[in-house]
Amino acid sequence: MQPILASEKSRGIGRIRSPRRVAWTFASCAILGFIVTPAWVIPRVEVIARAMLIGLVALVAFGLVERWTARLPSWLTRWALRAIGAELAIPFAALALYLALSLGDELPFWRSEGRMSGFIMLSVTGVALASWMETAALLRQREEAARNQARA
């Protein structure tokens, strides 16, 4: 079991909505949305907005799991739990988004080839991007912990 760093404890839920985390999430989701836009028939702004919304849900899931996992089984590490939490949140967020978008339609989104491919594309690319971002966040936290330990 890994202890929570003092800086993580003191900032609490503020870490979830820190400007730096939100900015990185929105920027990377905007880039992702821009990259996958050619495969879609809807306007680029809508694709980017969908990616940002799903990214925001993943950020909240990552932060909640990061903050409220004080005691873990010995076989489970905190970083793995954070990664799993954020990556599981992405397909569920995409599902909720697509269910909401297709509420008034005659045909549910899973029966529409275009919407189903959009759902799959956002889910898969979102999970791939989230895993890279989680790795970067983990490395940054370890560097910060090493610097704090060196100062002490």
What is the DSSP-derived secondary structure letter of residue 93? Answer: H
Q: Is residue 5 part of a domain?
A: no
Q: Is residue 6 part of a domain?
A: no
Instruction: Give the whole-angstrom CA distance, residue 140 versus residue 95.
Output: 31
User: Domain range holding 47?
Assistant: 12-151
Q: Is residue 141 part of a domain?
A: yes
Q: How does 54-91 read in b/e, with b if 16+ C-beta sit within 10 Å? A: bbbbbbbbbbbbbbebeeeeeeeebbeebbebbbebbb
Instruction: Give the whole-angstrom CA distance, residue 66 versus residue 16.
Output: 9
Full pLDDT tens readout for the chain, 152 residues: 344 444 444 455 566 678 888 898 899 999 988 888 888 888 889 999 999 999 999 888 888 887 776 677 777 777 778 778 888 999 999 999 999 988 888 888 888 888 898 899 989 998 988 888 888 878 888 898 899 988 88
Q: Is residue 2 part of a domain?
A: no
Q: Is residue 4 part of a domain?
A: no
The total number of structural domains in the chain stands at 1
Q: Is residue 61 part of a domain?
A: yes
Give me the helix-helix angle, 78-101 and 113-151, nearest 10°: 150
